Structure 1
Amino acid sequence: MKVLGIIAEYNPFHNGHLYHLTSSLELIKPDYIIVAMSGHFTQRGEAAIIDKWERTEMALRNGVDIVIELPIAYSSQTAELFAYGGVQLLNHTGVVTHISFGSEIGEIHPLAEIARILADEPHSFKTLLKQYLNQGLPFPLARHRAIVEHAKMSGLNFAESQWEKMLSSSNSILAIEYLKALYRTKSNMIPVTIKRIGAPYNAQEMSGELSSATAIRNEVIKQNDWNNISRAMPQPSFEILKRAIESGKGPVSNTSLEQLILGKIRSMSLKDIENLMDVDEGLENRIKECALKASTLNEFMSLIKTKRYTYTRLQRILIHALLDITKEKVERFKNAGGPQYLRVLGFSKRAIPLLKQLKQHARKPIITKVSHYERVLENPIAREMFEIDILATNLYSLGIPQPKYRKGNRDFTEKIRIV
């Protein structure tokens, strides 16, 4: 049996996602598809525009068979940790045979060569990286230069256009991290990459049928031009999104949570801020100072952002503060082997045989009824990880426009989506 695994956010599910899905189906011809999907906060440190159950339904109505949640301890992290969490989650299913992801280059070989360098970290690469960091370069740029220089010294000669597509493009950067995680976890999953088409990942403006998720979210938040949005999404996804927005379940953004976030930072000690993931080099002082000066989240971001500290990194730190995701917790989770459970958010009726296979082969506990989680998760580390997911939902819900959807413990009351 072939089972395709995909790691995604579907925030929201658009035509580019459908292209990736159908292209993967044509190439791999799997019997089933399992998606490891981010919950309420994403890799860029942003609140999802609508909740995880609505986005699960989008995936199922576009051909996915099972959606499992990527724990928030991994979904709101750097590309490296996000990829590691997603790959380990699919490894833990015990049934996924192939993994597919997008990339701007569309070729596995060059991506795998770079992934191997990053996984093995040869001495010359580490020396070059340290040298560039000491020059004050931001980590992504320092790593970029170190990889290129080390690779050329090792005889890997790619065209400049290939280097650009691999090391400066969002999807290829993530693809390299997926391959690195596969290598480091000794995974048996076979990797496949699909060349990304359409607008760049972070394009801000709508560009027709192949607009980015960022552009679609911007359009929803600022204009609600449904004709524009409908062209960029498969019909089932569009209907779910429109219904959710019109009923007041969205849109949700970090701005929706700005008082919670600023209040949290203001109430934290410098030591507590220093212990958060991604905080180093005295950044805690700047975070605290700016949180006390700023009256809005946008003002906070404009005060604190520098060339060294990217917008995305700062957003992730804010989410880590909100959910108390510390370096010590993430290290403990990593030492335990990454995600500690398979939380099923939804499935298609045709996937019932796959669910049976999952129950037989899964390497971690499966959660279908959240009310049973304390009994299902015997490991205290697993319970701690899952309770952060519950907290994420409870706080995310406070940003929903319609007050009736802001009640707590929705993880216990929302039903698994079945299509």
Structure 2
Amino acid sequence: MKIAGIITEYNPFHLGHKLHLEKTKKLTNCDAVVCLMSGHFVQRGAPAIIDKWSRAQMALDNGIDLILELPTVYAVSSAEFFASGAVSILNSLNVIDSIAFGSECGDINLLIQISSILSNESNEFKETIKKFLNEGYPVAVSRSKAILEIMQSLNLSYDEDYLKKQLNSSNNILGIEYLKAILRLKSNIIPYTFKREGALYNDKELNKDFSSASSIRNYLKANNVVDDLKAHLPMESYNILSKLSLENYDFAFEEKIFSYVKYKILTDPKSLSLIPDASEGLDNKIINELQNSNNLNELILNCKSKRYTYTRISRILAQFFIGLEKYPLTELRKKQPDKVRILGLNQKGAEIIKRIKKESSIELINKPKKPFSDIYTIDIQASKAYSLICKNIKMDNEFKQSPLIKMNEI
């Protein structure tokens, strides 16, 4: 059985994700697809709009064979640690033949060239990054500018404006990090990419072809009407979302974390400095701007600068809300978990699990299993934190919920 791996958030599962799945099957010629999906919190630094179990059901209903949970420690991290943790897990399963991801460029050779430059990290490259950092650019921008200089010095035949655009496109950036991880691990996983269609990742307005997850979430937040989203979702996803809405589901919009973050900062301001990404005085900036902010978006915008991006600040606040200041994040991000949770499976998924158990040392679990490592303890803590902003998830849900099974296929 040829197995492809994909790394996702499905926040929620939309038509672009359906296309991703179809293209993955076509590009890789696989027999089954394993999805590694973020849990209750996502990479941009926000709670997922619906819980991980509802999103796993969407994935199953749309044709994913096995859904595993990407641990929170990676899921709410920068693109580098998000990708590194995810690829490391897929590689350690010892059954994944390929990985496929969408990108703005759709050019795997370009992304491999860039990832090779980043992986080698020559002294010239390091000094060039340092130069741009000293000029006040954020890390991601400094790195992009350094890559551009190095590629030009190597006389690689790419137009400068084209390169600039590709180096600053969110899905390209994430794809490059996937490729870096594959190189670092010396993995045999074969990477594939395809050009994204329709709306961009951060587009806020619904698109007639393929609306972004951001636009779908924004529309639901502003209008609280699921029916209008029918044309922007696969029928399977729409049915789940519609059912949740009829049941008065408590959608977890990011603004809900603001009062909890504010309370934590007011009662223990020094604890914010324990979040690694809040270094260089950014913790003090957040604390000082709290009094000038009436909601989460205002706080982030008041702290945002040329050096500190909106997403970085959003991630810091999400990490702080979950309680990650109590854990050695810098160390944990570099580790690989010994256990990974199963969220859902069908018949093929059950067969894949049997193969993993034979060929991998990583343990696939149905529910929390002692002893708890810090990585898994964080997942339990994330579920408890999510229960504060989504009444449909109870504090002990992590210990009671079993993997979802596609009954008509098993």
Q: Larger deviation: 30-39 or 291-300?
A: 291-300
Equivalent in the alignment of 2:341: 343
Is the CA contact 2:226–2:241 (under 8 Å) kept in the aligned structure 1? no
CA–CA distance in structure 1, aligned partners of residues 250 and 163 of structure 2:
39
Is 1:32 paired with 2:19? no
Q: Larger deviation: 16-25 or 155-164?
A: 155-164
Is 1:394 paired with 2:384? yes
Is the CA contact 1:12–1:213 (under 8 Å) kept in the aligned structure 2? yes
CA–CA distance in structure 2, aligned partners of residues 69 and 398 of structure 1:
21
Is the CA contact 1:273–1:279 (under 8 Å) kept in the aligned structure 2? yes
Deviation string for 1:63-92 (max 9, x for gaps)? 100000000000011100100011011112
CA–CA distance in structure 1, aligned partners of residues 234 and 149 of structure 2:
43
CA–CA distance in structure 2, aligned partners of residues 389 and 287 of structure 1:
25
Is the CA contact 1:262–1:297 (under 8 Å) kept in the aligned structure 2? no
CA–CA distance in structure 2, aligned partners of residues 384 and 32 of structure 1:
31
Q: Give the SS at the match of 1:126.
A: helix
Equivalent in the alignment of 1:215: 215
Distance 1:266 1:243, change over 3 A: same
CA–CA distance in structure 2, aligned partners of residues 250 and 165 of structure 1:
38
Which residues of 2 match residues 11-50 of structure 1 at below 5 A? 11-50=11-50
Q: Larger deviation: 224-233 or 108-117?
A: 224-233
Equivalent in the alignment of 1:316: 315
Q: Give the SS at the match of 2:395.
A: coil
Equivalent in the alignment of 2:350: 352
Deviation string for 1:352-402 (max 9, x for gaps)? 2212112112231211132xx10xx4xxxx6211111111111111112xx
Offset of 1:327 from its aligned partner?
9.8
| Structure 1 unmatched runs, 5+ | none
Is 1:202 paired with 2:206? no
Equivalent in the alignment of 2:56: 56
Is the CA contact 1:93–1:342 (under 8 Å) kept in the aligned structure 2? no
Q: Give the SS at the match of 2:192.
A: strand
CA–CA distance in structure 2, aligned partners of residues 167 and 228 of structure 1:
35
Equivalent in the alignment of 2:109: 109
Deviation string for 1:187-224 (max 9, x for gaps)? 11110001110100000000123000000001111113
TM norm structure 1: 0.93
Equivalent in the alignment of 2:395: 408
CA–CA distance in structure 1, aligned partners of residues 312 and 265 of structure 2:
16
Offset of 1:406 from its aligned partner?
4.6
The aligned amino acid for 1:238 is: Y
Offset of 1:23 from its aligned partner?
1.0
CA–CA distance in structure 2, aligned partners of residues 369 and 41 of structure 1:
19
Offset of 1:142 from its aligned partner?
1.4
Is the CA contact 1:265–1:321 (under 8 Å) kept in the aligned structure 2? no
CA–CA distance in structure 1, aligned partners of residues 195 and 358 of structure 2:
34
Distance 1:32 1:255, change over 3 A: same
Q: Give the SS at the match of 2:40.
A: coil
Q: Give the SS at the match of 2:301.
A: helix
Is 1:306 paired with 2:296? no
The aligned amino acid for 2:233 is: M
CA–CA distance in structure 1, aligned partners of residues 2 and 349 of structure 2:
13
Is the CA contact 1:220–1:251 (under 8 Å) kept in the aligned structure 2? no
Equivalent in the alignment of 1:362: 360
Offset of 1:180 from its aligned partner?
0.5
Deviation string for 1:286-313 (max 9, x for gaps)? 1222234534323322332222211111
Offset of 1:326 from its aligned partner?
4.5
CA–CA distance in structure 1, aligned partners of residues 13 and 237 of structure 2:
6
CA–CA distance in structure 1, aligned partners of residues 122 and 327 of structure 2:
27
Deviation string for 1:316-375 (max 9, x for gaps)? 00112123324972232245x3333221011013322212112112231211132xx10x
The aligned amino acid for 1:80 is: E
Offset of 1:266 from its aligned partner?
2.2
Deviation string for 1:102-159 (max 9, x for gaps)? 1011111110010011111111111111011111122222111111001111232312
Is the CA contact 2:51–2:393 (under 8 Å) kept in the aligned structure 1? no
TM norm structure 2: 0.95
Is the CA contact 2:98–2:192 (under 8 Å) kept in the aligned structure 1? yes
Equivalent in the alignment of 2:10: 10
Q: Give the SS at the match of 2:42.
A: coil
Poorly superposed stretches of 4+, deviation over 4 Å: none
Deviation string for 1:216-275 (max 9, x for gaps)? 0011111134343111111001111121233233321221222112112223343x3222
Q: Give the SS at the match of 1:408.
A: coil
Q: Give the SS at the match of 2:35.
A: strand
Q: Give the SS at the match of 1:35.
A: strand
The aligned amino acid for 1:410 is: N
CA–CA distance in structure 2, aligned partners of residues 2 and 182 of structure 1:
18
Is the CA contact 1:72–1:389 (under 8 Å) kept in the aligned structure 2? yes
Aligned length: 406
Equivalent in the alignment of 2:279: 280
Offset of 1:31 from its aligned partner?
1.6
Is the CA contact 1:76–1:82 (under 8 Å) kept in the aligned structure 2? yes
Distance 1:245 1:277, change over 3 A: farther
Is 1:121 paired with 2:118? no
Q: Give the SS at the match of 1:188.
A: coil
Is 1:157 paired with 2:157? yes
Equivalent in the alignment of 1:226: 226
Equivalent in the alignment of 1:147: 147
Is the CA contact 2:32–2:348 (under 8 Å) kept in the aligned structure 1? no
CA–CA distance in structure 1, aligned partners of residues 393 and 340 of structure 2:
25
Identity across the alignment (%): 38
Distance 1:334 1:392, change over 3 A: closer
Offset of 1:279 from its aligned partner?
1.4
